[in-house]
Structure 1
């Protein structure tokens, strides 16, 4: 049996190679969170993009799957996410550039997920995430600057569509890979909703920890979903 296509699983059911990458991602993520909360800006600046790049490297080194287009789209999303990481941590107001980078990342993830199931393969996830998106926007709307309302609405809709498509793919296929992607989409919604509420509506002390932790959980789960065997 070829070890490249059937890597040895660990006790947790995760291939040992992926587990090593996840430990590296978690280490960089913890350092980035410490750097953001201490604060130690230099540590945050180094560790934040490094954590996402480590997820990208994990996916890059995975063996080719039966749907290479899925892997390529996930890699594109991770590269765009790294760019967004850099924009959002730079001094000054680079929020719109970060928003645009992550918008493109979610579009890349959405393209990938349509390779696992046709668009709207199940309706209920789109209804559920539409309701959640509406609830988040209703909280944010009075606090959003006028020039950001349009971009934020577009971003929320694309994010909700990505998470809903991930859930729809899981509902139709019920595989480990689709389950990981669905949980990753949900984690991304939690991260971005927390970020937006903290930034615009109701700041709270532990927001950066919640945002960053759920963000790298999301990226790691989406990365792991590339293994479809």
Structure 2
């Protein structure tokens, strides 16, 4: 690993953490720093994670292509949700596209449903959360929300299926990153949905974003290390 790669590997997590913290502080209610900073640091944090992913994945080109596409869709969703009302549906559709990309990427490593119990687990979680919130979801958003929740549950389930399918295989660690990324994404979106439809949740931005960005970081980590990419 070159000195430049080593320096980037050390500085990028720190830059991402600082950017995430500033975004959370700006988007808190009330804001702890100037609220306008959220328009800079929220997309910047995701952009840094995109860069983290772009330096990885040469050994798994199909997985890398789809996960990078998912991260770019997520970046678009982050920008849309800076306007919580007018941007909610565009943001929802952007993240729906991100989950589809992630599912396709994970399916390049293990067939869909290669391990079945995660689908039962996350399907049950999704049904319980949706059932609790259904009375609060506006009629115009019910179908988009159902489709989104299904895609989210399938994404997390397939990430776990990839991990459990790869136990004791060389790529098990990468698959484990994806599985925990999917789990954190489910938690983050559940908190977001509760806050939007049934809330408000105290310190919602902290709960949502402090699990969302680690979820995306885990997705990027599932592409392996820069050293693996250099070797490939």
User: 1:137: how far off?
Assistant: 0.5
Matched with 1:58 is 52
- 2: CA distance between counterparts of 1:22 and 1:170? 24
For residues 152 and 19 of structure 2, what CA distance do their matches in structure 1 show?
A: 25
2:51 aligned counterpart, secondary structure: helix
Q: Summarize the Cα distance change of 1:127–1:135 in structure 2 as closer, same or farther, 3 Å threshold.
A: same
Task: Specify which of 13, 16, 20 is matched with residue 25 of structure 1.
Answer: 16
How many Å apart are 1:72 and its aligned residue? 1.0
- 217 and 91 in structure 1: CA distance in 2 versus 1, 3 angstrom threshold: closer
Q: How far is 1:92 from its partner?
A: 4.4
For 1:47, which of 41, 44, 65 is the aligned residue?
A: 41
Distance 2:213 2:132 in 1: 25
Q: Does residue 185 of structure 1 match 2:176? A: no
Q: Please list every run of 5 or more consecutive structure 1 residues that lacks an aligned counterpart in the other structure.
A: 9-14
Counterparts in 2 of 1:48 and 1:143: CA distance versus 1, 3 Å = same
Does 2:137 match 1:144?
yes
Give the match's secondary structure for 1:121: coil
Question: Structure 1 CA distance, aligned partners of 2:209 and 2:146?
Answer: 22
Tell me by how many angstroms 1:64 deviates.
1.3
**CA contact under 8 A between 2:156 and 2:179: conserved in structure 1?**
yes
Measured against aligned partners, the alpha-carbon deviations of 1:48-93 in whole angstroms (never above 9, x if no partner) come to 000000000111123611x201111111011110100010012642
The 2-side partners of 1:43 and 1:50 are apart by 10
TM-score of the superposition, structure 2-length normalised?
0.89
* 2:195 corresponding residue in structure 1: 198
Structure 2: gaps spanning 5 or more residues: none
TM-score by length of 1: 0.90
CA gap of 1:63–1:108, structure 2 versus 1, over 3 A, is closer
Residue of 97, 101, 104 corresponding to 1:108: 101
